[in-house]
Amino acid sequence: MKGREISNSTSTARQGVFKKAAGDAIADRIEAIALEVRGIGSPDGEVLASSETLSALASALQQSRRKIDEIFELDGFAVSPACDVVLELFQARVRGAPLSVLALCEALSCPSSVALRWLEVLESRQLLIKMSVGTESESVALTEKGFLRTARALQLHL
């Protein structure tokens, strides 16, 4: 009888954790929708958002950046060019093609020397891989680890 009680207790605890996680996700989505609704623009294109709405958005953005830093295990990642690198490479992978280093550097809003240093950092963390494609210039692509971490970070914005 005690074994069944323990099993039921464990099952109930798992269900409770799932319900809490699902409830948190729903609450986050409702908050995001509320922010969207409050931010609907006026006919002349001006956004009608209260200071409280903008403050809530600022808080959500800060929390999102911190979570992204945790996902990539690097403080400041979310505001670095490295974040733009993984976003560009994620899109390239979804399109089914690696991205040339030259094209990647052109897409980023930083000097190519900065982009190249970040490529080295991301490669050392096994988030991207450099490849040679025939006689063309070097290409880069996300590793599976880089792809999965980027997907997790993107899910924060759903």
Query: pLDDT at residue 129 above 90?
Result: yes
Query: pLDDT at residue 58 above 60?
Result: yes
Q: 77-155: what fold?
A: Arc Repressor Mutant, subunit A (1.10.10)
Q: How far apart are CA 149 and CA 40, in angstroms?
A: 32
Query: Model-level pTM greater than 0.75?
Result: no
Query: pLDDT at residue 6 above 90?
Result: no
Q: How far apart are CA 26 and CA 142, in angstroms?
A: 30
Give the burial class of 41: count Cβ atoms within 10 A of its Cβ; 0-12 exposed, 13-18 middle, 19 or more buried. exposed
What amino acid occupies position 51?
A: S
Strand runs labelled E in the chain: 99-100, 128-132, 138-142
Q: What is the rounded average pLDDT of the residues 145-156?
A: 95
pLDDT band at residue 111, thresholds of 50, 70 and 90? Answer: confident
Q: How far apart are CA 135 and CA 133, in angstroms?
A: 6
Pick the closest to residue 59 from 69, 71, 51 (CA basis).
51
Give the burial class of 10: count Cβ atoms within 10 A of its Cβ; 0-12 exposed, 13-18 middle, 19 or more buried. exposed
Task: Give pLDDT tens digits for 59-107.
Answer: 999 999 999 999 999 999 999 999 999 999 999 999 998 899 988 988 9
